[in-house]
């Protein structure tokens, strides 16, 4: 077993956000999942200890803040969530760190809350659950537009990563009659990959070259499609605003995690595509089992130097955890 692992897609919930996770699991699973989402210091720590996980970077469940259509309420809920998380971390600061929940409905409000979380609360970045619904449930706002560029300037200046976490697809027409596709089985990943490509294509990383974006689940399948995306863009008559190939930004500005994708073949493919320095260990607890994720990772047929990189060293460097 590899000791000292760091996990960074590891979730908790407040009583007020629990319902956002309820719809994606059956009744037989919910009782246990509910207890684990509300727990920070008990079950979670025991399972970390049993599986060689030294540190978890905690984040709110999905979609939570991003689904609050009233912007002031989103801001208040984000602040309350972050204060709660800071208090939990203070109880055990050697085992837990935090990602800020942000009211992305208002980019300036989100920037101020991120600054507060990093400078005052000691958080190591932000985790945002996809697009935000602004003023109405059918108004999905993505973060590639120019109104968000001042926010991205703040992220870059703070030198912290931004974890783009999944939520359900904003457009449901294609999923009608197939509700099983909407959630983590497929729709979550497809939605998040699209959002990531929007960020890349907007030219965001030409303006903010030092931004670091994290994607879970081995990159939401993007490592397997980079070649074709690059090739077809070259053929397209529709225009592509960014200066470099998608694959270049992906390898420069993105990290991917193992969260919820405990499969050796896609891991090795991702390793060949982006390199060990761009992959981070995670479990996606409590939606996935810590033991299963850890045992799979510990037995991967990779070099021990790569295991250390993915398991802890990349995260230590990215989040500046040695200080």
- Using an 8 Å Cβ cutoff, are 78 and 103 in contact? yes
CATH number at residue 92: 3.20.20.140
Comparing C-alpha atoms, which of 123, 23, 95 is closest to residue 63? 23
pLDDT value of position 238? 84
Give me Rg for the CA atoms of the chain.
19
Is residue 94 in a domain?
A: yes
Q: Single out the catalytic residue among 70, 284, 298, 306.
A: 284
In a domain, 309, yes or no: yes
The mean pLDDT value for 195-199 works out to 98
Q: Which distant-in-sequence residues (6+ apart) come within 8 Å of 223 by Cβ? A: 250, 256, 269, 270, 273, 274
Counting the structural domains of the chain, the total is 1
The answer to whether residue 258 is domain-embedded is yes
104 falls within a domain: yes
**The pLDDT of residue 304 is above 90:** yes
Q: What is the pLDDT at residue 207?
A: 98
- Strands 132-133, 140-141: pairing is antiparallel
- Whether the pLDDT of residue 237 is over 80: the answer is no
With contact defined as beta carbons under 8 Å apart, do 13 and 61 qualify? yes
- For the chain, give the mean pLDDT: 97
Q: Which of these, 189, 196, 308, lies nearest to 260 by C-alpha position?
A: 189
The structure's pTM equals 0.97
On whether residue 323 sits in a domain, the answer given is: no
Q: What is the mean pLDDT of residues 39-64?
A: 98
Question: For residues 285 and 61, is the Cβ–Cβ distance under 8 A?
Answer: no
Counting other chains too, the contacts that 116-121 makes at CB distance below 8 Å and 24 or more residues apart are: 116/79, 116/82, 117/82, 117/86, 118/158, 118/160, 119/158, 121/82, 121/83, 121/85, 121/86
Token pair of 231, please?
Answer: 């090739």
Residue 232 has pLDDT above 90, yes or no: yes
- Give 57-92 pLDDT, tens digit per residue: 999 999 999 999 999 999 999 999 999 999 999 999
User: Given a cut of 70, is residue 193 above it in pLDDT?
Assistant: yes
User: What's the domain range around 132?
Assistant: 5-318
Rounded Cα distance between 285 and 182, Å, is 20
For residue 81, being part of any structural domain is answered with yes
Residue 257, in any domain of the structure: yes
Least confident of 17-31, 111-125, 147-161, 177-191: 17-31
Predicted confidence band at 43 (pLDDT cuts at 50, 70, 90)?
very high
What is the C-alpha to C-alpha distance for residues 275 and 268, in angstroms, rounded to an integer? 10
pLDDT at 249: 98
Q: Is residue 89 part of a domain?
A: yes
Through-space distance between the first and last CA atoms of the chain, rounded to whole angstroms: 26
Asked whether residue 323 carries a pLDDT value surpassing 70, the answer given is: no
Q: Is 230 a catalytic residue?
A: no
């Amino acid at each position: 077993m590899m000791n000292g692992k760091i996990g960074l897609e590891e979730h908790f919930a407040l009583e007020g956000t629990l319902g956002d996770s309820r719809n994606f699991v059956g009744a037989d699973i919910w009782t246990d999942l509910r207890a684990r989402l509300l727990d920070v210091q008990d079950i979670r720590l025991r399972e970390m200890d049993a599986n060689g996980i030294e540190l978890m970077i905690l984040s709110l469940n999905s979609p939570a803040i991003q689904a609050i259509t009233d912007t002031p309420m989103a801001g208040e809920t984000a602040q309350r969530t972050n204060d709660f998380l800071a208090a939990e971390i203070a109880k055990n600061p050697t085992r837990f760190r935090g990602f800020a929940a942000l009211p992305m409905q208002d980019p300036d409000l989100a920037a101020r809350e991120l600054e507060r979380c990093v400078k005052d609360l000691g958080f190591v970045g932000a985790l945002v659950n996809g697009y935000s619904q602004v003023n109405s449930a059918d108004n999905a706002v993505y973060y590639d537009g120019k109104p968000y560029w001042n926010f991205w300037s703040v992220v870059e200046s703070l030198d912290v990563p931004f974890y783009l976490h999944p939520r359900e697809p904003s457009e449901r027409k294609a999923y009608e009659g197939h509700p099983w596709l909407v959630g983590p089985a497929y729709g979550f990943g497809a939605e998040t990959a699209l959002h990531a490509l929007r960020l890349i294509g907007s030219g965001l990383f030409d303006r903010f070259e030092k931004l670091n974006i994290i994607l879970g689940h081995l990159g939401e399948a993007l490592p397997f499609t980079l070649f074709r995306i690059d090739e077809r863009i070259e053929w397209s008559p529709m225009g592509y605003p960014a200066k470099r190939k998608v694959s270049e930004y992906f390898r420069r500005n993105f990290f991917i995690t193992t969260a919820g994708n405990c499969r050796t073949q896609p891991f090795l493919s991702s390793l060949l595509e982006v390199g060990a320095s761009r992959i981070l260990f995670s479990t996606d607890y409590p939606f996935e089992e810590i033991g299963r994720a850890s045992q799979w990772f510990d037995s991967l047929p990779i070099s021990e130097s790569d295991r250390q990189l993915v398991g802890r060293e990349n995260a230590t460097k990215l989040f500046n955890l040695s200080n």
